[in-house]
Structure 1
Amino acid sequence: MAVSVPELAPLTPGATRVLEAASRLFYERGIHAVGVDTIAEAAGVTKKTLYDRFGSKEALVVSYLQHRDAKWRAHVAQHLARVPEAGRTRVLAVFDAAISWSDEYSPKGCSAINARAEIGDGHDGHPVFPEVSRQKAWLLDLFTELCREAAATDARSMAQAMMILYEGAIVTVGMETFAQPFEVARRLADVLLEADGL
């Protein structure tokens, strides 16, 4: 199975600076804590440029999440490419990808989960909610396909177990509850997969 990495529309230099500044600020400080004035100043552009390129702060938040997701998917694809044969090790490669990603790119946990926590229950039509839901559905689908290819007894249930371990680990990273949660999650995932004969 090949990991689909979404093709994103090319950005102008000004839009790239806005997105890079917004991404850093949203992740470090939170979405609600960062205003468009702060983003424009950090990007070295006017507010008009920001609105011309993205239309609204909400659209900029969605773009931030989409670009992080595309980078994450490319990172996962690289790890899966190293383990071409279906089986337990290929399922565990997602955890290996998370281990190498989290220190540099996600020291405060998952950007999607963090964004979801800021926007409420998603019933107000905020555009962030469907983007976050799409990202998590993709990861569950990936685990399901990897478990199916590995010939898990019940691929969907095994994928749900992998997802719970993954999500628990990424939340633990953000909460700093204990060190190396993805390593712990990987060991537990390995036990579950081995118990299924994989």
Structure 2
Amino acid sequence: MAKTRPGDAAAKVLNAASALFYRDGIHAVGVDTVAAEAGVTKAALYGNFGSKSRLVVAYLRERDRRWQEEIDAITAGHDDPRERVLAVFDAYEAWLSRDGFRGCAFLNATSEFPDPGDPVREVVRHHKTALRGYLAAQLERLGSGRADELMLLLEGAAVQSVVAQDARPFHVAKRLAESLVA
């Protein structure tokens, strides 16, 4: 195995873990598999992340960061808060479709880490709270307080898209969202 520079090992591990955890499930993937896929030693993995638990938290934080970038990019061209809200539905659809309808990585992680006090659950709560906060901020500009309803539509569409392996639930959810923000 070629020697990996210290700065490169963390990125390699995180990329490998992201693909493997999302595709196969977090508990199903061991650190040996992540290290091998990343082309680094287990010592490099542990040297950068300390434990599998901390790697999982880093994976979810990185996914949250990428999601925020995606939302920012998709909504940047919209000044109207209605359009921004509806663009979130488009972003969700694009994100989950691109990822092969394996579902929301955050909800998937929640099902694997049932303890509400687990650091993984804290990252998930942060992600979902931030999304709800974004929706609430847009709705506030409209004089509406329907963020909880929109979150239910988004999350329900995400689950149904996985079940159906199809984007149509997002189309239905977006139509319902349009009526909520009209």
Q: Give me the whole-angstrom Cα distance separating, in 2, the residues matched to 1:27 and 1:167.
A: 17
Give the 3-state SS of the residue equivalent to 1:83 in structure 2. Answer: coil
Where does residue 68 of structure 2 map in the other structure?
73
Q: Which of 148, 151, 171 is the matching residue for 1:163?
A: 151
Structure 1 gaps, min length 5 = 1-10
> What number of residue pairs does the alignment pair up?
177
- Structure 2 contact 101–166 (Cα < 8 Å) conserved: no
Q: TM-score, normalised by structure 2?
A: 0.91
- Structure 1 contact 15–50 (Cα < 8 Å) conserved: yes
Identity of aligned residues (%): 43
- Structure 1 contact 31–118 (Cα < 8 Å) conserved: yes
Q: Please tell me the residue identity of whatever aligns with 2:159.
A: V
Deviation at 1:105, TM superposition (A): 3.0
Larger fraction in helix:
2
Q: Which of 127, 142, 161 is the matching residue for 1:135?
A: 127
Backbone CA RMSD of aligned residues: 1.5
Question: Is 1:97 aligned to 2:85, yes or no?
Answer: no
Q: Give me the whole-angstrom Cα distance separating, in 2, the residues matched to 1:178 and 1:105.
A: 12
Deviation at 1:175, TM superposition (A): 2.4
- Structure 2 contact 154–170 (Cα < 8 Å) conserved: yes
Structure 2 gaps, min length 5 = 1-5
Q: TM-score, normalised by structure 1?
A: 0.84
Q: Give me the whole-angstrom Cα distance separating, in 1, the residues matched to 2:39 and 2:167.
A: 37
Q: Please tell me the residue identity of whatever aligns with 1:110.
A: C
Deviation at 1:177, TM superposition (A): 6.5
- Dislocated runs of 4+, deviation >3 Å: none
Give the 3-state SS of the residue equivalent to 2:181 in structure 1. Answer: helix
- Structure 1 contact 109–172 (Cα < 8 Å) conserved: no
